[in-house]
Amino acid sequence: MFFIALCFQFVVLVLSEAPPTPPQNVHVNKWQLTWTPATEERNITYTVQYSSFDSDEWINVTACVQIPSNSCDVAVTKATDEQGCVMLRVRAERHGLNSAQVEACSTHGDSCTPEFSLTPQPGSLTVHLSRNHSLAQEYQDHAKHRVFYGKEGEPLEHYEDNVSSVSLRGLQEGQRYCTKVQYIHFSEPVGLPSCTRCVLVPESKKDSKQAEIVVSAVVVLVVVVLTPVLAYVLLFQRGRIKRWLQPPCKIPRDFLLEPIPEQCHPISPTEEHYDIISSVTVG
């Protein structure tokens, strides 16, 4: 019993000395930063930091330092940057131990986060992006979109940069792929990235192609095989076909003649009335 209690205290001590689990689902909606606690453990606080455009320094958001709640208003950070574009991240804290930082994403597109839509096709995925945005108006082609992508459940390690829409090719059909998009300026990130979206890359219509092949094979079979057979039967077996089509009984000759009614009797020549012609006068 003493040994079990000792082991329990040791486990509690180890867990208390381990860093807390990072928060999850960190996202911004209209400058309200929200996240989900990874565990139900008590005595966990959270600190939010921001970084301005073209800066490597991360600064604590004054109103969001070691707070016990899972949300914070970060609208004040917009005024710290000329473009109003900042990046945000959150960490969990417990007894001086900090979790890994988790960067936030934006659920809606705005002047600092690209708005995009997805069109999946067999083996490819098109990310539709607008070339007309506030950063492009100021920095021209130096402001681009960085499109991260990968299979669902895997890190989004692959990316492509472009000023407008991007077509991702060579994708595996029947798999779900996820993307997120962020503005960049000279390859440096600007503002919050969009939150990840996932779609299914459809398979090509193999079944319809196979059906077309089967139909074609049937047509060829009919033309090549059945047509000569039908021609042979019609040319050389006509007599047998006629015998097969004959009715099983003979038709009487008077089948179509109407019977003479019994009440009708033929008129006798003796009963006929006639006049005798005595002479013929020719004019």
Between CA 180 and CA 202 the distance in angstroms is 20
Contacts of 246 (CB under 8 A, 6+ apart): none
Cβ count near 12 (within 10 Å): 10
Choosing from 144, 175, 200, the residue where a domain stops is 200
Residue 87 lies in a domain: yes
Of the candidates 41, 31, 40, 35, the one whose C-alpha atom is nearest the C-alpha of residue 23 is 35
Residue 227 lies in a domain: no
Residue 165 lies in a domain: yes
Q: How confident is the model at residue 201 (pLDDT cuts 50, 70, 90)?
A: very high
Residue 262 lies in a domain: no
Residues 99 and 162 in one domain: no
Residue 235: what pLDDT? 67
- CATH code, domain with 83: 2.60.40.10
Please say if the pLDDT value at position 118 is more than 70.
yes
Choosing from 106, 134, 162, the residue where a domain stops is 106
Between CA 225 and CA 17 the distance in angstroms is 83
Mean pLDDT computed over every residue of the chain? 82
As given in the structure block, the two tokens for residue 12 are: 């509690």
Residues 100 and 123 in one domain: no
Residue 209 lies in a domain: no
Residue 271 lies in a domain: no
CB 177 within 8 A of CB 125: yes
For residue 144, the enclosing domain spans 116-200
Q: Give the tens place of pLDDT for each residue, 19-73.
A: 999 999 999 998 999 999 988 888 899 999 999 877 889 999 999 999 999 999 9
What are the two backbone dihedrals, phi and then psi, of residue 255, each rounded to the nearest 5 degrees?
Answer: -65, -35
